[in-house]
């Protein structure tokens, strides 16, 4: 059975995240905004797969949908989907929806009656926010990357402090995410409020940390999003070990200075948000 590329890549990235230990049990969720070509070829691409196709167009009301994302199609993971198993039952643990002015209509998948992730508010608003700044932004990933979560549990963090700490321990960080990392204080998962506040931070950042909870990234494809989290999580791990070994805060150690970071930016043609 051959799935279209965007479904094959969903299978790959969810398995990769589970192998990293970022998506325990039913933790984590992913969405992909289909291209016009994906939509045109949708029926033919799925006809020989196990994805159920729907023709009844029953609308599920969620919230007022931003104008710029109405009638867009999302491939999105299902609530209570386990990324350990998704590769074996992707048509059960994901589906395609078409967004309306106040919710969505199931188009395909969710074969056993599941519905989209409980973080659907965040996914809709995140796509809408990033589309305003980058027409090529198509993927949103949320997971519980271990080092990032632990760093937020041990340290009081802000967008600026977390960004500078992670930039200072891994030279490549400022190249990978020069726009920094947005930080939100802890909030109840799956709420409209969390989705709204996340979307506000996504106006300036592609990475957002939910303190004491997890992280999400946005990007042009799955590997772009995975790489953003992978880099930030590695830097957070280095920062944690540095604190543990030295008994000092990150900035009190022999880390990269702002002058060092500015030199990297000049050499590689990037602009560091907090410099």
Distance CA 65, CA 176 (A): 31
Residue 107 tokens, joined: 């188009």
Distance CA 165, CA 148 (A): 12
Distance CA 266, CA 115 (A): 47
Residue 21 Ramachandran class (φ > 0 left, ψ -120 to 50 alpha, else beta): left
Question: Which run of H or of E encompasses 166?
Answer: helix 159-169
Q: Is 43 a catalytic residue?
A: no
Residue that the structure tokens 């506040």 belong to:
197
Residue 27 tokens, joined: 């933790």
Other CB atoms within 10 A of residue 16 CB: 16
Q: Which of 8, 24, 119, 172 is catalytic?
A: 119
Query: Which residues have a catalytic role annotated?
Result: 119
């Amino acid at each position: 059975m051959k799935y279209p590329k965007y479904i094959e890549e969903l299978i790959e990235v969810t398995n990769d995240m589970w192998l990293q230990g970022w998506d325990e049990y039913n933790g984590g969720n992913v969405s992909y905004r289909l291209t016009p070509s994906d939509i045109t070829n949708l029926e033919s691409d799925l006809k020989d797969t196990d994805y159920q196709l729907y023709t009844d167009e029953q609308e599920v009301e969620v919230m007022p949908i931003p104008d710029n994302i109405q009638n867009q199609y999302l491939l999105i993971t299902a609530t209570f989907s386990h990324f350990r198993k998704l590769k074996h039952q992707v048509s059960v643990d994901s589906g395609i929806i078409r967004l309306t002015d106040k919710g969505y209509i199931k188009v395909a998948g969710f074969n056993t009656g599941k519905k989209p992730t409980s973080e659907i508010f965040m996914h809709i608003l995140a796509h809408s926010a990033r589309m305003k700044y980058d027409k090529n932004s198509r993927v949103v990933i949320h997971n519980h990357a271990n080092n990032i979560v632990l760093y937020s549990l041990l340290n009081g963090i802000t967008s600026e402090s977390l960004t500078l700490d992670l930039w200072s321990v891994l030279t490549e960080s400022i190249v990978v995410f020069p726009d920094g990392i947005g930080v939100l204080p802890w909030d109840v998962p799956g709420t409209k409020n969390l989705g709204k506040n996340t979307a506000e931070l996504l106006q300036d950042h592609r990475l957002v940390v939910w303190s004491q909870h997890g992280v999400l990234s946005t990007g042009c494809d799955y590997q772009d999003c995975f790489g953003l989290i992978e880099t930030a999580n590695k830097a957070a791990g280095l920062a944690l070990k540095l604190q543990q070994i030295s008994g000092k805060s990150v900035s009190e150690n022999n880390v990269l200075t702002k002058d060092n970071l500015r030199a990297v930016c000049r050499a590689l043609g990037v602009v560091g948000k907090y410099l």
